[in-house]
Amino acid sequence: MLKLGVTGAAGRMGRRIVAMGTESGNFEITAGMEFSGCELMGKDVGQLAGLGPMGVPVTEKPENPVDVIIDFSLPDGSKQWVEYCSENNIPLVVGTTGLSEAQRQELIDAGAKIPVLLGANMSLGVNLLFKLAAQVAGALDDQYDIEVVESHHRFKRDAPSGTAVELARQMAIAKDWGFPDCMTHGREGKDALREPKTIGMHAVRAGDIVGEHEIYFSALGETITLKHRAHSRDTFVTGALTAAKWLVKQKPGFYTMFDVLGL
């Protein structure tokens, strides 16, 4: 049984990782971490996850041995865990979104020391969408405009979503358009005409929407649409746990969900 550490353990995703990891029978939760000053510091992670007492308090750093850490925190928090895992030779799965290009590069660089996996989105369906979006973008010429619309709950901090940015990255590579400069974030004003060779990005924040991503490929005369809708956060948790089991068997390197899923 793998000893699992969970960052952001008091958050919505962290609690589900603790619950589903325990229920899977593949993991023992030995550490649950949160940022300094978190009001739930010291609370039992099992109770927070609805499982009852587990004897594992929320702490700033692991107080027990861990075989792998899953990080769903904030971008600055991910930087801390990259450094911690590199120093302690611990494989790291990062599902945190809103990372800058510099922060993403830090994860890539850490792969020289430890196995690191970055998942802009952990679900199988979304990773298939990444592949399909790139394939469609590469097959169409530049008369087709590309627009991405992502929708999430009102509490999501970063915009656009990490998934939307990764969709743009994959399509920009397929089109040989410069990334991230090819992205246009929303439009407003009296002179907001669409520029060629750009990917429009639009973020909706409303209610309790778990996550929806829709891509429009539109020319004069027709539109092709790709869409993914997440029904619950559990699909992301399942992917993260699958990634953690896979990553502990790998050599140091930088990996993505494509590697886990054989895509």
Selecting among 152, 175, 213, 228, the annotated active-site residue is 152
Give the span between the Cα atoms of 154 and 209, in whole angstroms. Answer: 8
Retrieve residue 9's tokens: 């353990």
For this structure, is 152 an active site residue? yes
- Asked if 112 contacts 89 with a C-beta cutoff of 8 angstroms, the reply is no
Catalytic residue among 113, 156, 202, 245: 156
Residue type present at position 108: I
**Known catalytic residue at 185:** no
Q: Two tokens at 153?
A: 């709950």
Active site amino acids = 152, 156
